[in-house]
Amino acid sequence: MKDPVCGMDVGEKGDPLEYKGKKYMFCCASCRWAFEQNPDQFIES
């Protein structure tokens, strides 16, 4: 899996978060925080 904020490949060992029924993984707390502030900015439509 790729971090939706920075694009880093994090696999299954990243920091998980579920949003709108989909699981996202993050490389670090700062990327997760950025996603939580405006998730739709990082999701492909």
Contact 35, 24 (CB under 8 A): yes
Q: Whole-model pTM?
A: 0.85
Domain borders along the chain are: 1-45
Q: What's the CATH fold of domain 1-45? A: Ribosomal Protein L24e; Chain: T; (2.30.170)
Distances (CA, A) of 8 to 3, 14, 37: 5, 10, 19
For the chain, the residue count is: 45
- Local structure of 26: helix, strand or coil: strand
Distances (CA, A) of 45 to 27, 33, 34, 39, 42: 22, 21, 18, 12, 9
- Residue-wise pLDDT tens digits, 10-20: 987 888 999 99
pLDDT of residue 12: 79
- Residue-wise pLDDT tens digits, 1-45: 899 999 999 987 888 999 999 999 999 999 999 999 999 999 975
